[in-house]
Amino acid sequence: MLLLSFNLTIPFGEDRANPNLDDETLIASLEQNLEIILQNLEIYSTLVTFFVEVKIAERLSKTLKKLASAGHEVALYNISSSVADIEIVKNNLEDQLQKSVRGLRQKILRLPNKDIKNLGFSYVSDIEHSNIGFVFRRLKKEKTQLYYDDNLVIVPESLSPYSQLPFNDYVFQMTPLQFYENMILETLQNEDYVQIYMNAWQFYEKEDLPYKFPFYKKYNLGKKFEDKLIAFLEFVNEKEIATSRMKDYLF
């Protein structure tokens, strides 16, 4: 089973490449990238999970309704929000979508599992910081398998036994597609699922990237990234690899 997801974020503070860009402009460009993603997913009849950053979720309410209406799962991605803020956004989003928001993704700031469960989430997707150092920091296999903590499902990053690389956003961006496809096939021979995630910002062209990123994250973006996603979805269809939203696979 292939669990494909996309992170929906905009940069804040020092992460913003151009301080003159306002939130509304960035959200509008994010929605343009999201249209590209949706069109390609629709062509290949692929349902995914979208993790929207807590701080912008309410300003994307119309777009998130569109995602949910198309059959995709909407979940939250916490970068720096408090438990109280997450609770407010989660409740408002559920009212708008008329659906339960079951998943929370987190990276650097990780909340206690007890707090996540008390907020009403059913699963948490923990991802690693994908700077260039992860190439030299191999993940241990036992840290990549889902487990349970008081009925809360913890879903770590997937790891390829073929290359010992995680299936993170940067690996998809930089790895030759044929090599990446071999990683997928090899992993599915040994594991029940592979979790893959990407970002809406990867569909920006290098010169339009609103994030202040190091040089190594600025390659193979925009149209090159879109073409790679299309080729990957074609591969998934040709190999008849089953795909699923996170909540459907876990529950």
12-28 pLDDT per residue, tens: 999 999 989 999 999 99
Of residues 63, 56, 53, the one with CA closest to residue 24 = 56
Q: Over 90: is that where the pLDDT of 139 sits?
A: no
DSSP 53-96: EGGGTGGGHHHHHHHHHTT-EEEEEESS--HHHHHHHHHHHHHH
pLDDT at 140 over 80: no
CATH of the domain at 123: 3.20.20.370
136 pLDDT band, cuts 50/70/90, is very low
Residues composing the chain? 251
Is 191 in a helix, a strand, or coil? coil
Task: Output phi, psi for 153, to 5 deg.
Answer: -85, 125
Token pair 């990276």 in the structure block, residue: 107
> Among 118, 60, 77, 75, which residue's Cα sits nearest to residue 249?
75
Q: What is the pTM of this model?
A: 0.94
Which stretch of DSSP H or E encloses residue 182?
Answer: helix 177-190
pLDDT above 80 for 126 = yes
142 has pLDDT over 50: no
Beta strand pairing status for 152-155 and 147-149?
Answer: antiparallel
Q: How many domains does the chain have?
A: 1
**pLDDT tens by residue, 221-235:** 999 999 999 999 999
Q: Is the pLDDT of residue 36 over 60?
A: yes
4 φ/ψ angles, rounded to the nearest 5 degrees: -105, 135
In the chain, the N- to C-terminal Cα span, in Å, equals 14
Structure tokens at 47: 């349902």
* Cβ within 8 Å of residue 238, ≥6 positions away: none
Domain around 126 = 2-250
Phi, psi values for residue 48, rounded to 5°: -135, 180
The values of phi and psi at residue 173, to 5°, are -65, -40
